Chains A and B, each alone.
Chain A
Amino acid sequence: LAKTTQPISMDSYEGQEVNITCSHNNIATNDYITWYQQFPSQGPRFIIQGYKTKVTNEVASLFIPADRKSSTLSLPRVSLSDTAVYYCLVAFSGGYQKVTFGIGTKLQVIP
């Protein structure tokens, strides 16, 4: 299973764009990259998933370079409600068996 590395914490002011980068140097050909958001006392919530290049949905964008050894989650114009822990996961496209989350990145949005 590909190991991921991401910053432990980040601070940002409201209204700014936030980019969180995750390293996954030993990603395999069939692995997908998925990001989750977790608020205190809640389960993680799916944000976005991608395989290569760029993926965008209504809440975030995911940038994946050609070598796929890293990925960047981009949150446009964050608000206080985006304060949460963000997890980067790499998992085999055939399923999520034994997927383990790292510590994640604790994002603190400052007014």
Chain B
Amino acid sequence: ETGVTQSPTHLIKTRGQQVTLRCSSQSGHNTVSWYQQALGQGPQFIFQYYREEENGRGNFPPRFSGLQFPNYSSELNVNALELDDSALYLCASSLGIGSGEKLFFGSGTQLSVL
């Protein structure tokens, strides 16, 4: 069974640039959620994709957008990067959107915005 994988592991960008982060969900999982984790904080929910449709969004501006593909992998896109976007971006997959479903996290992409 393949776990959740994310790429790249580290990324450095400058303010105003755009970035795309990628996530491959665990085998058999059809749901992907993205979280932002600032240093010393808990993860904050960005949005979730279920069967290629957005299924809930947290308190993040529209410059944070995403996609889910037919194989259930996903992308997170961030436009017009700001310094405060520097964080660890975590992807989590699950078997579905039921309340008891566990989330399985990837190791994250560490984004630094200079």
Are these two chains actual partners, yes or no? no
Instruction: Spell out B's residues near A (CB within 8 Å).
Output: none
